[in-house]
């Protein structure tokens, strides 16, 4: 019997802790959340949905050079819209 991947739940709980800690998400924290999604080699629809919701909560004032690099990589790899970028 196949067991559903629950990594998306771990991603969500981790993001709650990160945002709850200081109200912000930094590039290292986003990297750890992304690593949860990528660790099994497959990023499924639930993980993409959660990742998109997390990214959507990042405020422009939180985006430094390291965060911009993370967000650019996420947009490139997964086609998600990230703060400060538009897709034509």
Q: What is the pLDDT of residue 83?
A: 84
Which tokens in the block code for residue 45? 């629809």
Q: What is the pLDDT of residue 5?
A: 84
Q: What is the pLDDT of residue 4?
A: 65
How do the domains of the chain map onto residue ranges? Answer: 7-78
- In this prediction the pTM is 0.86
In order along its 88 residues, the chain shows pLDDT tens digits of 345 689 999 999 999 999 888 888 999 999 999 999 999 999 999 999 999 999 999 999 889 999 999 999 999 999 998 887 655 4
């Amino acid at each position: 019997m196949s067991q559903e991947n629950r990594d998306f739940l771990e991603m969500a709980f981790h993001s709650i802790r990160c945002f709850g800690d200081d109200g912000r998400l930094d590039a290292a924290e986003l990297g750890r959340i992304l690593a949860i999604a990528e660790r099994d080699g497959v990023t499924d629809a639930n993980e993409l949905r959660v990742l998109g919701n997390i990214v959507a909560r990042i405020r422009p004032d939180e985006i430094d050079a390291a965060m911009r690099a993370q967000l650019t990589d996420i947009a490139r790899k997964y086609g998600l819209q990230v703060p400060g970028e538009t897709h034509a």
